[in-house]
Amino acid sequence: MQFDLYCLRWGRPTGGGIVVSTIIRFQYIATTNHGGLDESDSTMIYQKPNPRNRQKRRQDKKSKSIKRPKKIICPIFIVGAPRSGTNIFYRRLARHPDLAWISNITKKFPSSLWLTRIVMLFRDDHRPTEANNVWQKFTGNDHESLGRDDVTAAADKYLHTVVQNNLRIFNKPRFVNKCPGNSVRIEFLKEIFPDAIFIHIIRDGRAVGYSIIRSRLEHSGAYWSVKPPGWRDLLKLPLVDACALQWKMTVKAILQSAKKLPPEQYLAIKYEDLVARPVELFKQVAEKCDLIWQEDMLQTITTGMDNRNFKWQTEMQDADKNRLNLLLCDFLKQLGYEV
């Protein structure tokens, strides 16, 4: 007669449940003399697990369960001064069937795939977000700018993990994100993602300045959005001056970084052209990013794009409009705007 002694233990969190292990096998030989255990004929056999077999089983299980990270191919970063039309462009481009993006759900635990999966058991209302918590993780308190020299092994690993997680979650081959703060982090991102493509949305600085003014007033007048180098000097200026120069400093920072990019990795689009000829511009973006639009989808995403530049002219006081023209005149002309 023989019996096995089993031990119950909890499995690892990834596996869950209870694991049953055989520890010792006893073998009893009953005899007519004793009617029980005969010490001379009984044996106790200890079966010690073979470490090599256990290791092999673990490796086999691991190789089956782990999915290799998705390769990151030419991630797309939309940059531009705040209130330049980057958001309307981002939300439409994000509808391309080949593109993944950081959503309002996946940004909660951006570097943890399994925690994100748990959250997704209860929520599936994904929508594209800027995910400032991701891109600002390695910035300082003084400003948001980062360059090539600011890249660390930790930053490289973290951002690659975040992008790969979203590629896997949405099962897409390409990635896109829009975050105005990345306008002053182009060289940093280029170092981490060498084949990244940057789409720069440029809008009339007077319209942007007025829109930033309105946003600041909604936040009790506090400084708002992108913090380019020297942004603290703007805190000393009147509201109209500060908002106008915030646009100018941000656009200048982008153009300066763009000079260091290969032509195939940078595309500047004017907001005014985008809303006037959206189909043409989205096709131009698709060609730059090696994407293909289905005609019906392209028609859908390009409807309802209205030019809202008139607001600064109709809603601002003359003195403020004149101030905007004075502050931005030369730079606007450089960008091809009429003043």
Please give the pLDDT value at position 28: 40
Q: Is the pTM of this model over 0.85?
A: no
DSSP character string of 72-113: P-S-EEEE-STTSSHHHHHHHHTTSTTEE--BTTTTSSTT-H
Query: What are the sequence ranges of the domains in the chain?
Result: 2-65, 76-334
- Where is average pLDDT lowest: 61-65, 91-95, 244-248, 276-280? 61-65
| Pairing verdict, β 266-270 and 174-178 | unpaired
Q: Is the pLDDT of residue 5 over 90?
A: no
Beta-strand runs (E) in the chain: 2-10, 18-27, 43-45, 76-79, 99-100, 174-178, 197-202, 266-270
Q: Is the pLDDT of residue 294 over 70?
A: yes
Instruction: Share the mean pLDDT of the chain.
Output: 86
State the average pLDDT over residues 253-280: 97
Of the chain, the percentage scoring pLDDT greater than 90 comes to 75
Q: Is the pLDDT of residue 17 over 90?
A: no
Of the chain, the percentage scoring pLDDT greater than 70 comes to 79
Which overall architecture, per CATH, does domain 76-334 show?
A: 3-Layer(aba) Sandwich (3.40)
CA atoms of 318 and 12, how far apart (whole Å): 69
Please give the pLDDT value at position 70: 73
Please give the pLDDT value at position 144: 87
Please give the pLDDT value at position 46: 41
Residue-wise pLDDT for 86-145, tens only, equals 999 999 999 999 999 999 999 999 999 999 999 999 999 999 999 999 999 999 767 789
Residue 60, beta-bridge partner list: none
